[in-house]
Amino acid sequence: MHPVVKLVAQRLALGALLLLAASALIFGLTEVLPGDAAQAILGQSATPESLANLREEMGLNRPALTRYVEWLGGIFTGDLGNALTNKLPIADQVSSRMSNTLFLAFWAAIISVPLALILGVIAVRYQNRWPDKIISGITLASISLPEFMIAYLLIFAFAVQLFWAPSFASINDSMSLLEQLHAISLPVAVLTLVVLAHMMRMTRAAILNVMQSAYIETAELKGLNAFSVIRKHAFPNAIAPIVNVVMINLAYLVVGVVVVEVVFAYPGMGQYLVDAVVKRDVPVVLACGVIFAAVYIILNIVADVVSILANPRLRHPK
């Protein structure tokens, strides 16, 4: 078997095992939560009969292992169960919520990834000079602030003072693309500032590490200008760590948007999860948790596969 195929198969198998372990951990954590889930949902005025009926509906009277196996089997068949609060299928609600989250993450990635790569290359080209210091200073400042603080600062500046963008990112299917982009402009800006610094710093560090190589010195001695050396020789050989950090940040754009979605009241997966936690809707919490885990694991597998394919020693073992 070719080394690349073998390594990719190993990554896929490990990813499947990790997802199984994550599902067991998520289910176990919901089981050890303090309090009675049925009591939390119905309130203190619930009658013993209604509590018994809800516990029966939630399966709380059965062993935890049995409920876990049934829940896992439902996931494999695409059945995430029904929400306790509105009795609607979770899969239908997740579908619309996930599309909104992916829409937000897509536009944040479209802006942040190319911008991070360009700024990283510029920082390398003008290392220790004023462009490098300005780029590094701004990105370090953005990475030092929590998401909610950046969000509130942008809301105050662009929504309250300048009226350039709405403070609530509410979208629906009746809106045009331009109206939707205007509605999500502030959350996209927050996510861009949050993930930009990680990708830019890794791009800068990876390229600088490659710039110490002998073949880079040879290219410079041939008379190539600095940008050509970086673009043709340094960047392609520094792609593996850059891809890894890009994929990790893309996973964050999907999984880690909970705070941003709550601040802007955006109808995505993060807001859906927070609402379910507040209402103690355990099936929804389980579904959101396993979906977030799957997205994170899949994107990390993609990063590993791209890193493997970018390694010439693995592509050409002989």
User: pLDDT of 199-210, one tens digit each?
Assistant: 898 888 888 888
Q: Do 269 and 148 have their domain in common? A: yes
Residue 318's pLDDT is what?
53
Residue 21's pLDDT is what?
92
Q: Do 103 and 210 have their domain in common? A: yes
Q: Do 42 and 132 have their domain in common? A: no
Contact between residue 297 and residue 304 where contact means Cβ atoms under 8 Å apart: no
Contact between residue 158 and residue 187 where contact means Cβ atoms under 8 Å apart: no
Cα–Cα distance between 90 and 85 in angstroms, integer?
Answer: 11
Q: Which domain holds residue 225?
A: 97-315
Residue 109's pLDDT is what?
92
Q: Do 209 and 125 have their domain in common? A: yes
What's the first-to-final CA gap in the chain, in angstroms?
Answer: 14
Measure Cα distances from 294 to 2, 61, 75, 101 in Å.
27, 29, 12, 15
Q: Do 173 and 235 have their domain in common? A: yes
Residue 317's pLDDT is what?
53
| Phi, psi at 82, each rounded to 5° | -115, 145
Q: Do 34 and 125 have their domain in common? A: no
Residue 184's pLDDT is what?
92
Residue 264's pLDDT is what?
92
Residue 232's pLDDT is what?
78
Q: Is residue 21 part of a domain?
A: yes
Q: Is residue 121 part of a domain?
A: yes
Q: Do 237 and 120 have their domain in common? A: yes
Count how many Cα atoms sit within 13 Å of the Cα of residue 98 in the half-sphere of its side chain: 14
| Phi, psi at 267, each rounded to 5° | -80, 65
Cα–Cα distance between 27 and 21 in angstroms, integer?
Answer: 10
Q: Do 223 and 262 have their domain in common? A: yes
Q: Do 15 and 109 have their domain in common? A: no
Low-confidence ranges of the chain (pLDDT < 50): none
Residue 55's pLDDT is what?
75
Contact between residue 283 and residue 302 where contact means Cβ atoms under 8 Å apart: no
Total domains in the chain come to 2
**Residue 43 DSSP class:** -
Domain boundary among 76, 107, 133: 76
Q: Is residue 17 part of a domain?
A: yes
Residue 273 belongs to domain with CATH number: 1.10.3720.10
pTM for this predicted structure: 0.83
Q: Do 174 and 226 have their domain in common? A: yes
Closest by CA position to 243, among listed 301, 172, 156, 176? 301
Q: Do 37 and 175 have their domain in common? A: no
Structure tokens that stand for 17 in this block: 């095992």
